[in-house]
Amino acid sequence: MTASTQTDIISPDRDDSQVLALRCRGVTQSYFDTRLGRQRVVLNGIDLDLHPGEFCSVIGPSGCGKSTFLRLILGSEMPKDGEFSIMGRMPAAPNRDRGIVYQKYSLFPHLRVIDNVAFGLELEQIAFAMKWIWYPGYLVKRKHFVEQAMEFLGKVGLAEHAHKYPHQLSGGQQQRVAIAQALIMRPQILLMDEPFGALDPGTREEVQHWLLELHAKEKNTILFVTHDLEEAMYLSTRILLLSQYYEHSPEGRREGSRIVADIVPRPQGIERHHWKTHPEFSLRLGRLLQMGFRSTQLLKKSEFWMSHQHSISPTT
Amino acid sequence: MRIQSPLSRQWHIILGVLPICLAIVVYGLVSRARHQENPKDKLTPGLKQFVEGWQRVMGRTSREMREYTVVEGDTIQTIARRFGQSDDIVAEIQPTNGKDLVDWDDSIRALEVGEVLKVPVEVGVPFLQQFLILDTLQSLKRLASGIAVGAGVALLFGLLMGSFTEMRALFYTSISALARIPPLAILPIIFLIRGVGEDAKIIIIALGIFPTMAMDILLRVQALHKELIIKAYTLGASTTEVVFKVIFPQVMPGLIHSIRLALGPAWVFLIAAEAIASEAGLGYRIFLVQRQLGMNIILIYVVWIILIGLIMDVGLKAILLWKYRWAEGK
């Protein structure tokens, strides 16, 4: 691959940055490693353009910094270097621009399902402490946003569980509520950190299917971190591979993950819902698992040590 | 017996009650043996003495003076009968006009119509003035105020320190220093500053339980999943709203657990403060009757305190199950 093709894929369409759901330039993060006694680079100059409506998965070997990348976008951590913007705006601390669904602990255990979903709406519409002084508009407003939340719960198929507490739901149901809770606020981008990692295979497939349908309807921008290549291939419209395994270079060991591959998993012409049962799916998946990414899919092939045993079969 | 093998409910109850029954039987045997040796033994009161003690603490009757205006035809006897007394109360009837009723030769003077006499009557003590009830109410009032103040302040500091690192830096050292002071050691200081009134007792209880509770709540706030706090921010919450709508409600069941644990120390401080200076209260009474070797009354009070403690514990548990079902996972 030539350098020109590389820039094609990740090139910044500079006039377009206002409508990019996410635009990263040289995002770098490092932490102080007490064992090494110095800063250790985790992410090394991530460039990424994400268009609205994309369902983008991030995969990579353990420790490659997938979750760190997500935390940076979320704003719960600040990058050491580089910058990013969401719909053209520079974000700071976590706010309503970005929704988040974690693997666990996404729901407020002290609130019923319906109140969990309505939480954001209540914050938006009811001034703080107004609930306690019983001002007359409260009940009217509450009725309004509870209706809205019920509608959303209906969409995730959990309307009959509205008055249960989260711990009374199964893992898959909890994750669906968590997604509804985040989506009801209509975030610019929905971040998901291994959301289905704790689910058993059957439930997992069910929720994946449901998420696909939801994405087809709502066209949200989703950044989805997973360690499961099959899941990424099935769900996403785009897969990013992060890796920290560099080819040994004469100037010494290089550090920090970069995006080494940026692929579109599903060929044109195959319906999203038939994709997983399509013969091409298992063919591509098997090829990726056994042989790694084809050199044509790699962005920085020369730098990376793609034959490393962990480089593309991310297990944890 | 296997490690942590399941046990049926009946056995739970039987085994739980067994040690108590055993203790009562042993006490009974010891008490009987001592009474055979010395029928007036006071250190191990028997059933009869407990009944006497109970009647004393429940204070069945007392004497009181009532005013009575003499009408036509009254004699000392009719007046005595009117109040349900025998004739010999004549010596206790007091005239209010300064003329003695009984002369030097034991003769009784004639009564004047319209004159006011003070007549002693036996009356049932008003319910609230009975020893046990009075003491209990006084003590509970102090205990409840002390715990309310202590827990309130602890909640405030715990929430602040758990939520904001600046607040933690500001208060942590002082509160852990405060936690090292045995509260009874500064009891004299409080008495000197605040006098020996009610507020001194409330302060000693509050001060005694506040530092450990504040630390407990701090730990509970820190143990909350960070994900939930970030999640609340992404749903548009302000920092105040995160504290009051996410952290506070999740710490509430912890606060109740904390109060359950603080009840023990709170009782210690209450009894100690009452023993030193008060006019009523469970601790006051126990230390008062100790001087008269009133073991029967002391034991009645101790059993009573156990009962109150158990009721409080069960009550707090019930609140947890009723209001904070989600925290108990049921």
Chain A, nearest residue to B246 by Cα: A108
What confidence tier does A252 reach under pLDDT thresholds 50, 70, 90?
A: low
Tokens describing residue B202: 């409330």
Q: Does A164 reach chain B within 8 Å, measured CB to CB?
A: no
Check CB contact under 8 Å for B326 and A110.
Answer: yes
Q: Mean pLDDT across the stretch B84-113?
A: 76
Answer whether B300's CB lies under 8 Å from B50's CB: yes
Answer whether A243's CB lies under 8 Å from A249's CB: no
Pick the range with the lowest mean pLDDT from A226-230, B16-20, B126-130, B249-253: B126-130
What was the pLDDT predicted at A34?
86
B326 CA: distance to closest CA in chain A (Å):
6
Q: Mean pLDDT across the stretch A216-221?
A: 85
What was the pLDDT predicted at A64?
81
Higher-confidence position of A232 and A3:
A232
Q: Which of B225, B230, B324 sits opposite A76 (nearest CB)?
A: B230
Check CB contact under 8 Å for A110 and B225.
Answer: no
Q: For residues B224 and A258, give the distance between their C-alpha atoms in angstroms, rounded to a whole number.
A: 33
Looking at beta carbons, which residues of chain B come within 8 Å of A106?
A: 227-228, 231
What confidence tier does B216 reach under pLDDT thresholds 50, 70, 90?
A: very high
Residue B50 has pLDDT above 80, yes or no: yes
Looking at beta carbons, which residues of chain B come within 8 Å of A132?
A: none
Looking at beta carbons, which residues of chain A come within 8 Å of B236?
A: 95-96, 120, 123-124, 185
Location of structure tokens 């591509």: A284
Q: Would you put residue A63 in left (φ > 0), alpha (ψ -120 to 50) or beta? A: left
What confidence tier does A1 reach under pLDDT thresholds 50, 70, 90?
A: very low
Q: Would you put residue B86 in left (φ > 0), alpha (ψ -120 to 50) or beta? A: beta
Please, where in chain B does CATH 3.10.350 lie? 62-124
Pick from A26-40, A246-260, B80-94 the range whose average pLDDT is largest: A26-40
Picking from A110, A167, A168 by the largest number of B CB atoms within 10 A of its own CB, the best residue to mutate is A110
What confidence tier does A10 reach under pLDDT thresholds 50, 70, 90?
A: very low
Tell the burial category of B325 from Cβ atoms under 10 Å away from its Cβ (0-12, 13-18, 19+). middle
* CATH class as words, domain B62-124: alpha beta
Q: What are phi and psi of B255, to 5 degrees?
A: -60, -40
A48 CA: distance to closest CA in chain B (Å):
22
Report ipTM (2 d.p.). Answer: 0.82
A109 CA: distance to closest CA in chain B (Å):
6
Least Cα distance to A83 among A41, A18, A26, A42 occurs for: A26
β-bridge mates for residue A298, sequence order:
A261
Looking at beta carbons, which residues of chain B come within 8 Å of A182?
A: 231, 234-235
What confidence tier does A274 reach under pLDDT thresholds 50, 70, 90?
A: confident
Q: For residues B62 and B126, give the distance between their C-alpha atoms in angstroms, rounded to a whole number.
A: 10
Tokens describing residue A32: 């102080």
Check CB contact under 8 Å for A123 and B241.
Answer: yes
β-bridge mates for residue B92, sequence order:
none
Q: What is the pLDDT of residues B135-190, one digit of tens each?
A: 899 999 999 999 999 999 999 999 999 999 999 999 999 999 998 988 888 888 88
Task: Count how many residues are written for chain B.
Answer: 330
Answer whether A68's CB lies under 8 Å from A77's CB: yes
Task: Count how many residues are written for chain A.
Answer: 316
What was the pLDDT predicted at B329?
67
Q: Which of B234, B324, B326 sits opposite A100 (nearest CB)?
A: B234
What was the pLDDT predicted at B128?
55
B233 CA: distance to closest CA in chain A (Å):
5
What are the Cα distances from residue B152, in Å, to A50, B251, B256? 50, 13, 12
Q: For residues B214 and B168, give the distance between their C-alpha atoms in angstroms, rounded to a whole number.
A: 11
Looking at beta carbons, which residues of chain A come within 8 Å of B237?
A: 123
Q: For residues A56 and A9, give the distance between their C-alpha atoms in angstroms, rounded to a whole number.
A: 14
Q: Does A264 reach chain B within 8 Å, measured CB to CB?
A: no
What confidence tier does B23 reach under pLDDT thresholds 50, 70, 90?
A: very high
Answer whether A191's CB lies under 8 Å from A73's CB: yes
Q: For residues B275 and B107, give the distance between their C-alpha atoms in angstroms, rounded to a whole number.
A: 50
Looking at beta carbons, which residues of chain A come within 8 Å of B244?
A: 128-129
Picking from B220, B228, B231 by the largest number of A CB atoms within 10 A of its own CB, the best residue to mutate is B231
What was the pLDDT predicted at A233?
85
B252 CA: distance to closest CA in chain A (Å):
10
Q: Mean pLDDT across the stretch B201-206?
A: 92
Q: For residues B225 and B229, give the distance between their C-alpha atoms in angstroms, rounded to a whole number.
A: 7
Q: For residues A32 and A39, give the distance between their C-alpha atoms in angstroms, rounded to a whole number.
A: 4
Q: For residues B123 and B307, give the distance between their C-alpha atoms in angstroms, rounded to a whole number.
A: 30
B151 CA: distance to closest CA in chain A (Å):
21
Looking at beta carbons, which residues of chain B come within 8 Å of A108?
A: 228, 231-232, 246, 250
β-bridge mates for residue A99, sequence order:
A190
Q: Which of B232, B241, B250 sits opposite A109 (nearest CB)?
A: B250
Least Cα distance to A191 among A78, A93, A67, A36 occurs for: A67
Torsion, CA A173, CA A175, CA A176, CA A177, rounded to 10: 90
Looking at beta carbons, which residues of chain B come within 8 Å of A96?
A: 234-236
Q: Does B54 reach chain A within 8 Å, measured CB to CB?
A: no
What is B129-328's CATH number? 1.10.3720.10
What was the pLDDT predicted at B259?
94
3-state SS string for chain B: CCCCCCCCHHHHHHHHHHHHHHHHHHHHHHHHHHHHHCCCCCCCCCHHHHHHHHHHHHCCEEEEEEEEECCCCCCHHHHHHHCCCCHHHHHHCEECCCCCCECCCCCECCCCCCCEEEEEEEEECCHHHCHHHHHHHHHHHHHHHHHHHHHHHHHHHHHHHHHCHHHHHHHHHHHHHHHHCCHHHHHHHHHHHHCCCHHHHHHHHHHHHHHHHHHHHHHHHHHCCHHHHHHHHHCCCCHHHHHHHHHHHHHHHHHHHHHHHHHHHHHHHHHHHHHHCCCCCHHHHHHHHHCCCCHHHHHHHHHHHHHHHHHHHHHHHHHHHHHCHHHHCC
Question: Count of CB contacts below 8 A, A vs B?
Answer: 74
Location of structure tokens 């989260």: A166
What was the pLDDT predicted at B14?
95
Location of structure tokens 């610019």: A188
- In Å, how far from its chain's centre is CA A80? 21
Tell the burial category of B123 from Cβ atoms under 10 Å away from its Cβ (0-12, 13-18, 19+). exposed
Q: For residues A134 and B72, give the distance between their C-alpha atoms in angstroms, rounded to a whole number.
A: 67
Q: What is the pLDDT of residues A127-173, one digit of tens each?
A: 766 666 666 777 788 888 889 899 888 877 888 899 999 999 988 88
Higher-confidence position of B66 and B214:
B214
Q: Taking all residues of chain A, what is their mean pLDDT, rounded to a whole number?
A: 79
Q: What is the pLDDT of residues B270-303, one digit of tens each?
A: 999 998 888 888 998 888 888 878 888 889 899 9
Map residue A60 onto helix, strand or coil: coil
Q: Mean pLDDT across the stretch A299-316?
A: 52
Answer whether A47's CB lies under 8 Å from A108's CB: no
What was the pLDDT predicted at B258?
93
Q: Which of B234, B235, B326 sits opposite A109 (nearest CB)?
A: B326
Q: Does A99 reach chain B within 8 Å, measured CB to CB?
A: yes
Looking at beta carbons, which residues of chain B come within 8 Å of A167?
A: 326, 329
Q: What is the pLDDT of residues B62-90, one digit of tens each?
A: 667 788 888 888 887 888 777 777 666 77
- Which residues contact residue B185 at a Cβ distance below 8 angstroms, ignoring those fewer than 6 apart? none
Q: Mean pLDDT across the stretch A15-20?
A: 65
β-strands A22-33, A81-85: how paired?
Answer: antiparallel
Residues 169-198 of A with CB under 8 A from B: 181-182, 185, 187
Q: Which of B228, B236, B240 sits opposite A96 (nearest CB)?
A: B236
Q: Taking all residues of chain B, what is their mean pLDDT, rounded to a whole number?
A: 87
Answer whether B44's CB lies under 8 Å from B30's CB: yes
Please, where in chain B does CATH 1.10.3720.10 lie? 129-328
Pick the range with the lowest mean pLDDT from B117-121, B210-214, B221-225, B250-254: B117-121
Identify the structural domains of chain A with CATH numbers, from first to last. 1-90+223-316 (3.40.50.300)
Question: Model's pTM, two decimal places?
Answer: 0.78
Q: Which of A93, A120, A167 sits opposite B326 (nearest CB)?
A: A167
Map residue A171 onto helix, strand or coil: helix
Q: For residues B77 and A75, give the distance between their C-alpha atoms in angstroms, rounded to a whole number.
A: 96
Whole-number percent of chain B with pLDDT over 70: 94
A289 CA: distance to closest CA in chain B (Å):
32
Residue A98 has pLDDT above 60, yes or no: yes
